[in-house]
Amino acid sequence: KLPLKSNWKTAANQIAQTLNQLDSDTLYIDGFDGNSAENITPTILQIASNLEGKKCIVLAGRRFPMSLSSHKEAEELIGILQIPQDYWSAKYIPTHNRPLIEVRAFSEGHVWVNSRLIDHWEGQLPRLLFFFFIDRAMLTRDDIFRTFWPELSIKDATNVFHVTKSKINDLLGVPLMVYSSGYYRISPDVELRYDAVLFQEAIQNADIAEDEEAEQLYRKAINLYRHDFLTSIDADWANRRRNEMREMAGDALFKLAQIRQQYNTEEALGFLIRANAMQPQRQDIVRELMRLYVQQDQPTYALQVFDRLSQLIGKDALEIATLDALKQIQAQR
């Protein structure tokens, strides 16, 4: 963390100076299409104008940053990068004439139908039911009733469900659910692109792939994991999934670090720091992070990582291997 000055120009110059000293050439800023994009445009330009060599800033967003491109000083600084289809890049033209529903759950939760953002849900219930259903893809009526209306009679719950389901269809402009053999499923008449599914598929395939392919798949998964899962929804089912996804992302970062450490120790260290932030109680991650810190001649940081773990889980819960790692560091000092 930088002790940034209150003056935005001074702070921007300080950020640029720090970036120029780092080995990495690129600063990524995700979500540069939100409400704050226009406000921070001058700061972005100030940073970019002070970068040296091949240093650059990559701004990721669904909309072209008009506020940025309208500045004269940006004309020689801006370039447009095409994102590979393997990463999150929506198919804006539906295939086979089917409506395309895009769902981004690694955020507050956003939905597009044929690139039209659904931003008015006419109440919280249609939105909650939509995400609950999309995340499971196949549900019984009991699954839905038990989650949303456990205290209602079957008759009352059925009425509320059908009204809510109809409202979802009206909002999307397409029928989302079909009922068959006791299950509600996603309609075959829509094409769904769901970042959480792409994330899980990438990790599952990476876990059985050789290192070179696994690295690309883990990177794909990490790029998809932009934020925690459905941060705007506080419900038991969403909280459980949020924890599951966070654990999967932390594990992907850990495995990616293991692959990269034989080629680039500093990059591997960065992945481990992120993995540790997601799963601070994981002792295997902590041990590997301590080892790389020592390898980088930073034993003080290694001890700080150990202290955080000890405070989090208690000394009695520390594994023998973790205590041995501590003793080795202390012996070398």
Chain segment 48-92, per-residue pLDDT in tens: 888 888 788 887 665 556 556 556 666 666 665 555 544 444 444
The DSSP call for residue 55 is: -
SS3 per-residue string spanning 57-75: EEECCCCCCHHHHCCHHHC
The answer for residues whose C-beta is within 8 angstroms of residue 260's C-beta and 6 or more apart is 215, 267, 268, 271
Pairing verdict, β 191-194 and 177-180:
unpaired
Phi and psi angles of residue 181, each rounded to the nearest 5 degrees, phi first: 55, 40
Cα separation, 278 vs 283, in Å, equals 12
Written as tens digits, the pLDDT of the chain (333 aa) is 455 556 778 888 888 888 888 766 777 776 665 555 667 778 888 888 888 887 888 876 655 565 565 566 666 666 655 555 444 444 444 455 789 999 999 999 999 999 999 999 999 999 999 999 999 989 999 999 999 999 999 999 999 999 999 999 999 999 999 999 999 999 999 999 999 999 999 999 999 999 999 999 999 999 999 999 999 999 999 999 999 999 999 999 999 999 999 899 999 999 999 999 999 999 999 999 999 999 989 999 999 999 999 999 999 999 999 999 999 888 877
> Side-chain half-sphere of 242: how many Cα atoms within 13 Å?
17
pTM: 0.72
Angle between helices 141-148 and 154-172 in degrees, nearest 10: 100
**Torsional class of 91: left (φ above 0), alpha (ψ -120 to 50), beta (otherwise):** beta
Cα separation, 32 vs 9, in Å, equals 20
Chain segment 260-297, per-residue pLDDT in tens: 998 999 999 999 999 999 999 999 999 999 999 999 89
In the chain, domain spans = 8-74, 88-241
CB 189 within 8 A of CB 237: no
The answer for residues whose C-beta is within 8 angstroms of residue 267's C-beta and 6 or more apart is 260
Pairing verdict, β 116-117 and 110-113:
antiparallel
Phi and psi angles of residue 274, each rounded to the nearest 5 degrees, phi first: -70, -40
